[in-house]
Amino acid sequence: MTFNNCTCSMDDPEKLLTHLRCGISKSIKRRTFSIEIKFSQPVTNFFINLRMVLPRRAGMDFTVFNLTDIEGCRLLSNTKQIPILQVGRIHLDHFSNLPKNCPWKPNVMYYIRGFRPNMESMPAFSFETDLNLWFDFVVNHSKIIKGFMVGHVQRRQIGKKT
């Protein structure tokens, strides 16, 4: 899987965020994404929305998952999670300093840096497709962070081409 785009925006009426940055590495061979956030005050309760879609050239797009109002503190502590999110969280720990429980402390730069998915942990597949991922970070009923990522899933080449 490669990433082609990672953007995010902030809509923060309560001024909880003091820093937000999202982007893709400049490496052409294997692009990774990074996200950095910093809060001005403790964040004790939040929710995450995640939606992953495989766009199709003809017909309707295929929605892999559309998860709304995921309780963020439970997600951080890895309790009562959907199995695909557990695998994602375990892999994410290698690239981030995200807390394991709430609250998110103020004036601490939290990050995911140089993330690239571990395709070994995914089930076998034999297709190539683009992938779109939308995410929201919701605090006090406000989507303070909105993000969008574009990637491409490709078949793994085994051996040399003849």
User: Which residue's structure tokens are 């909880």?
Assistant: 16
pLDDT by position in tens, the chain (length 162): 778 899 999 999 999 999 999 999 887 777 888 999 999 999 999 999 999 999 988 889 999 889 899 888 887 876 666 666 667 777 788 899 989 889 999 999 999 998 877 666 555 555 688 899 999 999 999 999 999 999 887 766 555 555
Q: Environment class of residue 37 by beta-carbon count within 10 Å: exposed (0-12), middle (13-18) or buried (19+)?
A: buried
Domain regions of the chain by residue span: 2-153
How many Cα atoms within 13 Å fall on the side-chain side of residue 104?
24
Helix, strand, coil in percent for the chain, rounding step 5: 15, 45, 40
Chosen CATH of 2-153 out of 1.10.730, 2.70.220, 2.60.40, 3.40.190: 2.70.220
Residue 79 is predicted with a pLDDT of: 62
Q: Report the distance separating Cα 94 and Cα 118, nearest Å.
A: 11
Distance CA 135, CA 51 (A): 7
Would you state the structure tokens that stand for residue 59, as one six-digit string?
């017909």
Is-above-0.85 flag for pTM?
Answer: no
